[in-house]
Amino acid sequence: MTRLVVFDCDGTLVDSQAAICRSMDEAFAIAGLAVPDRIAVRRIVGLSLPQALLRLAPEADDETRALALEAYKASFRAARSSGTLQEPLFAGMAELLQRLRDADRLLGVATGMSDRGLGACLARHGVSELFSTLQTADRHPSKPHPAMLEAALYEAGTAASEAVMVGDTVFDMAMARAAGVRAIGVAWGYHEPDELIGAGACGVARTAEELEQLIHE
């Protein structure tokens, strides 16, 4: 039986595409770099920010990427402080999280976000108390390294065979595979369903209801 369900955040729990693209545009402009197109930005969501910037601007030097990194963080902080940051939960996710907890499933998050960003996001949607373990890029290597998921398993006191990872990118699927955890993809995020299956997903949900069924299989 599945005891622990670990979710990615961006593209899985919340729709952060507009916020990510806006902050990336601002960061690249401030750093004097050519602004990447939206497709390229979508491809790197799920990685930690340094790794994402390395992929988006491989020709830039370390100092320039560091400037872009700080500008990106500042853009997100400003949006959060002003109340203009939009990261809505995907349809049905709040209800699904509550049903899983009511069924005595432990919940976790493994995300490339920062501790501050994740904490603010979950609090804004009133779901913070539903989660038993929160793992972010502040304390772990970037996905697909399994460290985040391994830490979640340890904190929840569960075996890999008792857990499932839910995500929208191949980085999530690869992390789950590396940790020996069953992986489930969602079709409403940043990577295509066939990519998720190819990366190791046992199935790809198109709705919250389908996701619930896959979790309980």
- Counting every residue written for the chain, the total comes to 217
Top-level class of domain 17-82: mainly alpha
For the segment 93-109, what is each residue's pLDDT rounded down to a tens digit?
999 999 999 999 999 99
d(C-alpha 42, C-alpha 31), whole Å:
20
Q: Is 10 a catalytic residue?
A: yes
pTM as predicted: 0.93
CA pseudo-torsion sign 35, 41, 45, 51: negative
Which stretches does DSSP call E strand in 83-202?
Answer: 106-110, 133-135, 163-167, 182-186
Q: What is the token pair recorded at 155?
A: 């904190």
- In terms of phi and psi (left: phi > 0; alpha: psi -120 to 50; beta: otherwise), the region of 28 is alpha
Domains 4-15+87-216 and 17-82 agree in fold:
no
Residue whose token pair is 């890029």: 137
For the segment 131-180, what is each residue's pLDDT rounded down to a tens digit?
999 999 999 999 999 999 999 999 999 999 999 999 999 999 999 999 99
For the segment 140-152, what is each residue's pLDDT rounded down to a tens digit?
999 999 999 999 9
d(C-alpha 30, C-alpha 22), whole Å:
12
CA pseudo-torsion sign 173, 179, 180, 184: negative
pLDDT bin (cut points 50, 70, 90) of residue 83 is confident
Report the pLDDT value the prediction gives residue 154, as an integer from 0 to 100.
Answer: 98
Classified by CATH at the fold level, domain 4-15+87-216 comes out as Rossmann fold (3.40.50)
Residues in a beta bridge with 133: 108
Which of 8, 15, 168, 172 is catalytic? The answer is 8
Report the pLDDT value the prediction gives residue 84, as an integer from 0 to 100.
Answer: 86
What angle in degrees, to the nearest 10, is found between the helix axes of 93-102 and 208-216?
Answer: 30
Element (H, E) at 38: helix 38-44
Which of 10, 15, 168, 172 is catalytic? The answer is 10
Lateral strand order in the sheet of 106-110: 133-135, 106-110, 4-7, 163-167, 182-186, 204-205
Are 10 and 112 spatial neighbours (Cβ–Cβ below 8 Å)? Answer: yes
d(C-alpha 158, C-alpha 68), whole Å:
38
Domain spans, the chain: 4-15+87-216, 17-82
